[in-house]
Chains A and B, each alone.
Chain A
Amino acid sequence: DTAVSQTPKYLVTQMGNDKSIKCEQNLGHDTMYWYKQDSKKFLKIMFSYNNKELIINETVPNRFSPKSPDKAHLNLHINSLELGDSAVYFCASSGRWARSGNTIYFGEGSWLTVV
C-alpha cells in the first residue's frame, strides 16, 4: 500500500485550462503539504494543512487553491494554467505539525507540463 499517493503522475495540458491533482495519505497523519519543484530541482513549499486547517500559505498565485475534505486528503486545483506552472508537484504528510520535527513522507510526484 502506497503511503502517500497522488494522481495523476503525468499531466500535459494547454494554457488556460483548469486542472486538479489529488493526494491521499493512509498513514493517519494530521499534516499534509504541497510542494513545487522547478526544473532546477529546487523544492518550495506551497501550502500546508493540519487537521483540515490551512496553516501555511506561501506566496502562491490565487490561481492555486488547495482543498482538504478530510485530513487524509489534500487536493490541489489550478485555474487558468500558465507555462510557468510546468513543474513537478509533490504532496507530502507528517504525523503532526512541527516545523522541523517529525519525518515527512512524500508522494511520487505529479509531472505537470503546460503547453
Chain B
Amino acid sequence: KNEVEQSPQNLTAQEGEFITINCSYSVGISALHWLQQHPGGGIVSLFMLSSGKKKHGRLIATINIQEKHSSLHITASHPRDSAVYICAPDKIIFGKGTRLHILP
C-alpha cells in the first residue's frame, strides 16, 4: 500500500472551473506540504499546514490530521495554474503528483 495517495492523477478542466486535488496518507505527521511544479520548471512550496485551512490568493489548502487527508482547491482556475501538484506528508515521502491542465 502506498503511503501517499493523490487523486486524480491527471485533470483537464476549463478556465474558471473550481479544482480539487485530494491527498490521503498513512504516516503520522505534524504538517503536510503542497508543492507546485510548472512544466520544465522548479518546485515551489505552496503550503505547509498542520490543521484547518490556509489560503493564498485563489489557492486553498485544507487538512484533517486525524483523518490523514488533505485537499488543495483552486478557485477560478486559469491556464497559468497548469502544473503538477505534489502532496508531501513529510520531506521524505511524496505523492505521485496530479497533472493539472487548464484549457483557455
CA distance A108 to B42 in the complex (A): 4
Interface size of B as a range: 20 to 34
**In the complex, chain B residues 24-75 whose Cβ is within 8 Å of any chain A Cβ:** 29-33, 35, 37, 41-45, 48, 50
Number of interface residues of A (CB under 8 A): 24
A79 to chain B, nearest CB (A): 25
**B86, closest chain A residue (CB):** A43
Q: Which residues of B contact A98 (CB under 8 A)?
A: 30
CA distance A48 to B93 in the complex (A): 13
Task: Tell me, yes or no, whether A12 is within 8 Å of chain B by CB.
Answer: no
Q: Which residues of A contact B41 (CB under 8 A)?
A: 108-109
**In the complex, chain A residues 58-115 whose Cβ is within 8 Å of any chain B Cβ:** 90, 92, 94, 98-109
**A33, closest chain B residue (CB):** B91
Task: Tell me, yes or no, whether B90 is within 8 Å of chain A by CB.
Answer: yes
Known: A42-B94, A56-B92. A101 touches B31 (CB 8 A): yes
Q: Which residues of B contact A92 (CB under 8 A)?
A: 43, 91
Known: A45-B91, A94-B91. A100 touches B43 (CB 8 A): no
B residues whose Cβ falls under 8 Å from a Cβ of A: 29-33, 35, 37, 41-45, 48, 50, 84, 86, 88-94, 96-97, 99
A residues whose Cβ falls under 8 Å from a Cβ of B: 33, 40-45, 48, 56, 90, 92, 94, 98-109
9 chain-A/chain-B pairs, Cβ below 8 angstroms = A40-B96, A41-B96, A41-B99, A42-B97, A43-B88, A90-B43, A92-B91, A99-B29, A100-B33
